[in-house]
Structure 1
């Protein structure tokens, strides 16, 4: 575990190639912290949103299920945001540690802090542990069942970076990790898991397969050269057909989760409003498919980032249903 030699293609200011333009890290963060915040992808907030939104789905549907909102849910709502930022950062740090040799061979990733030489592996490990300890402090404010769910979440997080080495479906492992919050937060509210949470989790995994296949097409050529697997490489020119299948699975499973959550106690009006969530989400995913061009990396990145809005759409419907 040693410092990587600086990449000749790394931007001179230390910024990362696919970061959001004029992001707050590059503009306002203290210089000493910038490499670590870049390691956590704080300059690319879309990942935090994709981890956070299933948590908020789980919380709103859990309240719809038992019709028992309480003040503690406000803390759970805030804790989700803090925890998502920290655990996404820790997960990205772990991913970059395990992928440090691969990232140096891929045009889009060779400017990241470890392959560019901005951060050593030992420094990255220390940063990862710090983020995980802070996240643990938040997790310990939840009930025991939710704490146990939080500890179990470490398993898919640990395995994911290695998945692309042994399966053509690494996006499934990403889905397992990124949507775990739906299970955890449902448990934090309700004290135990119920069937709607599991179905919602499956819907989130289907959504992850949708957006991360789009994302993976950016690296398909480099991945083929270095032997890294992905659904983008597996599907190739048939990606559009597979993405439509993931769209239908997402909408269908989320719709079932909403029905399961709403039938016990929610009003007919609340259930109808909540069902508008997966319906509207599906239309946004269909819009993405209409603009899909797997040979246009800029468009691929734009579509991938648009999934923040994709995930917010059902959340708004679920929140409205709670007020009905």
Structure 2
């Protein structure tokens, strides 16, 4: 049963954004002491929030997933988990998230309902706007500022430090979600769903992803400068940029055969190398 729940939310994909949550922690550590307790609570809060987001998305999309050849083998449409079982897990995860936010500090707890709203309402965004890619990115981007606030208990100085980090992660996630949606172009058009590939076609979507990822690199560099990171961080961002460039070379409008390698491999590595650079 635990394996089914892990598959429901693709638990290994936690690697995508967790390093950016920890990047916020590292940035805060330049001004505030970091306790092991805080670090553990950040990991719990992030993992629980991601479970809520993914679990709720699977529930909201279960009928669509059942009609999509690519997704019909997922836990809910395949019947390996019932909607009731999924709902129970999502509710438990939401409670765990709120408990972790409460244990961190009053500011995190006060903002936690807003975070839950952003990550759950995303599931319906692609029904009415192609901007859903950026909505998904924003849901992941909450992690970075949240990691900072978990340690500091107050907003950053300068005030724009955390928004810049959020912009970087929003564009990073949004860009690779644009890539991921390429394989569902036919299905999305048939179902009346909104996505970049439906709006702009394959070539236009790939160009959009290039723009997003280019701006991601710029935003990460600005964030690192404002946070006080040194040259190892810059090296990490440059390495991440090289990986993104490799990712874009693998995905062509007429050839999506290497899309999964680009999505699962490249993006998992990008966040890790940037975080390791920050530790340096």
**TM-score of the aligned structures, taking structure 2 as reference length:** 0.91
1:123 corresponds to 2:92: no
Q: Which of the two has higher C-alpha Rg?
A: 1
SS for the counterpart of 1:167 is coil
Q: In the alignment, is the contact (CA less than 8 A) between 2:179 and 2:206 conserved in 1? A: no
1:149–1:295 Cα change, 3 Å: farther
1:41 corresponds to 2:7: no
Q: In the alignment, is the contact (CA less than 8 A) between 2:24 and 2:147 conserved in 1? A: yes
**TM-score of the aligned structures, taking structure 1 as reference length:** 0.79
Match of 2:206 among 237, 240, 243: 240
Unaligned runs of 5+ in 2: none
1:271 corresponds to 2:247: no
CA distance in 2, matches of 1:179, 1:55: 8
Per-residue CA shift, 1:166-223, capped at 9, x if unaligned? 1011111101111101111111111212221111111111101111111111212211
CA distance in 1, matches of 2:87, 2:226: 42
SS for the counterpart of 1:168 is coil
> 1:101: how far off?
1.3
Q: In the alignment, is the contact (CA less than 8 A) between 1:146 and 1:185 conserved in 2? A: no
Per-residue CA shift, 1:97-128, capped at 9, x if unaligned? 11111111111111112212222222221121
Match of 2:246 among 282, 287, 297: 287
After TM superposition, the structure 1 = structure 2 runs for residues 172-211 of structure 1, keeping only pairs within 5 Å, are 172-194=134-156, 195-211=160-176
CA distance in 2, matches of 1:228, 1:256: 35
Alignment size in residue pairs? 275
1:61 corresponds to 2:27: yes
1:36–1:240 Cα change, 3 Å: closer
SS for the counterpart of 1:103 is helix
1:109 corresponds to 2:71: yes
1:221–1:255 Cα change, 3 Å: same
1:98 corresponds to 2:60: yes
CA distance in 1, matches of 2:62, 2:237: 38
1:80–1:188 Cα change, 3 Å: closer
Q: In the alignment, is the contact (CA less than 8 A) between 1:258 and 1:275 conserved in 2? A: yes
Unaligned runs of 5+ in 1: 1-31, 263-269
1:314 corresponds to 2:280: no
CA RMSD in angstroms, aligned pairs only: 1.8
Q: In the alignment, is the contact (CA less than 8 A) between 2:240 and 2:271 conserved in 1? A: yes
Query: Counterpart in 1 of 2:196?
Result: 231
> 1:292: how far off?
1.3
